[in-house]
Amino acid sequence: MTAPTAMQILGFRGDLITPDHHDYDGARAVWNGTVDRRPRLIARCGGTADVAAAVRFARDRDLEIAVRGGGHNVAGTAVCDDGIVIDLSGMRAVSVDLVDSTALVQGGALWGDVDHETQAHGLATTGGIMSHTGVGGVSLGGGIGWLMRKHGLTVDNLVEAEVVTAEGDVVRASTTDHPDLFWALRGGGGNFGIVSSFRFALHPVGPTVLAGPVFWAAEDTTEILRFYRDFVADAPDELGNVIRLGTIPPLPAVDEDLHFRPAIAVASCYTGSVEDGERAVGALRQFGTPLVDLVGPTRYVDHQSAIDDTVPHGWHYYWKATNLTVLSDEVIDIVAQHAYGATSPRSYAAIFHMGGAVARAPRDATAYPGRDVGHNMSIDAVWLPEQDDTVGAAETAWARAFLDALQLYRAGVYVNFLDSDDDTSRVREAYGDANYRRLVEVKAKYDPENVFRNNKNIQPATPAR
């Protein structure tokens, strides 16, 4: 079959990128450099009408569809072989409405775009903890970040969405319009349609917050984690914490002789006054013998991009993930035993502290299921594209063995942290039986032919093609 040309997509005004285009390789590349898929066509949309035109075009020709938001998903679901990529990366506009404190965000925006515009007004919503992650994928899977304990997950802040359905129609989803679709969008991923724009509730944040990591030597891991478990049990909602176990990244603020030294870090962000933040993190900073303490007043936007360079686009990645109910002594021992077993100094594990407003949201309000989760853990193998396959194999084996060791303590998983070899059983694990069944019903109503299947797929109850 010959590649479709611009003339063949009726009503499409964006850019069409075919394999003979000079930017084809750039346009098909995603964040995870191990992903190497060759779509027949990349339809880079300029707006909602282009998205609808591209969906109808693909349906008419029975083309496989992949949807690209920020291109960050580790499983590489933003691209497919031989089909069409409906690419939203040209749709990154953000506008703030100060009357009702909301932001209208196009479906291909990155969190850096959202923070940039909202922080100009001293406002923010819960987003991912890096600036180059996409709003689309994060929001549809749940959305965990620094602000979640105070303001809820990203899905808890979603007010409405404009959705292009599998039929190519444009609908609005909110608590009053298509409420079943709106429920499913808030955690169910890209299974139900393409969100061309999101409207999020905003909250006063910063612009200066108290934030940053404290690092301790890897040998101190057990005592730091035991202390941390008690420290976060009483933490105020304003305090977000993420543990990072691996090596000290070569950040400009860190002395060179500490670069790549095995270490445990607790990174914090306090979203109240700096003075209250100093009190809230005081005990943490004073515990044990930190190697380096980078906590201080910082602009929230800067904190949101502080670790961007530690996981840039194009490196090679492989993830395993699990939720943990508590950091028991047994879990801590396993974590301490495995965390530093990677070969690559760039590999690490991260543990997000959940709770607060996340746990207080009504259980059935959204499709995101993990309201009771204490900690959300991802085990992130990272190596360089120029390193040979044995390094990738060793890192992958490390991540798998680490997760296997936690088998007895696994308590579900965050769908957005699943990798390409996490099969449908793990998608079920992510949602739990009750939410999965409800998602299947919504899928059968809005996408009975499973047109949107390049994702962590929820199969419709009716036969899919």
Ligand X SMILES: Cc1cc2nc3c(=O)[nH]c(=O)nc-3n(C[C@H](O)[C@H](O)[C@H](O)COP(=O)(O)OP(=O)(O)OC[C@H]3O[C@@H](n4cnc5c(N)ncnc54)[C@H](O)[C@@H]3O)c2cc1C
Q: Which residues bind ligand X (CB under 6 A)?
A: 31, 67-74, 77-78, 88, 107, 128-130, 133-134, 136-138, 140-145, 189-190, 194-195, 311, 416, 454-455
User: Which CB, 107 or 290, lies closer to ligand X?
Assistant: 107
User: Which CB, 57 or 318, lies closer to ligand X?
Assistant: 318
> Measured from the CB of residue 245, what is the shortest distance to ligand X in angstroms?
16
| Residue 409 structure tokens | 């303590």
User: Which CB, 79 or 406, lies closer to ligand X?
Assistant: 79
CA 27 to chain centre: 21
The C-alpha R_g of the chain, in whole angstroms, comes to: 21
User: Can you tell me the distance from the alpha carbon of 92 to that of 109, in angstroms, rounded to the nearest whole number?
Assistant: 4
User: Which CB, 140 or 291, lies closer to ligand X?
Assistant: 140
User: Which CB, 48 or 435, lies closer to ligand X?
Assistant: 48
User: Which CB, 336 or 349, lies closer to ligand X?
Assistant: 349
> Measured from the CB of residue 205, what is the shortest distance to ligand X in angstroms?
16
> Measured from the CB of residue 401, what is the shortest distance to ligand X in angstroms?
22
CA angle 321, 322, 324 (to 5 degrees): 145
User: Which CB, 86 or 214, lies closer to ligand X?
Assistant: 86
| Residue 109 structure tokens | 């925006």
> Measured from the CB of residue 142, what is the shortest distance to ligand X in angstroms?
6
For 336, residues 6+ apart whose C-beta sits below 8 A from its C-beta are: 221, 222, 225
8 Å CB contact between 355 and 149: yes
> Measured from the CB of residue 181, what is the shortest distance to ligand X in angstroms?
12
CA distances in angstroms from 56 to 53, 61, 136, 254, 285, listed in the order given: 5, 9, 21, 52, 56
User: Can you tell me the distance from the alpha carbon of 55 to that of 51, in angstroms, rounded to the nearest whole number?
Assistant: 6
> Measured from the CB of residue 458, what is the shortest distance to ligand X in angstroms?
11
Burial (Cβ within 10 Å: 0-12, 13-18, ≥19) of residue 351: buried
> Measured from the CB of residue 179, what is the shortest distance to ligand X in angstroms?
18
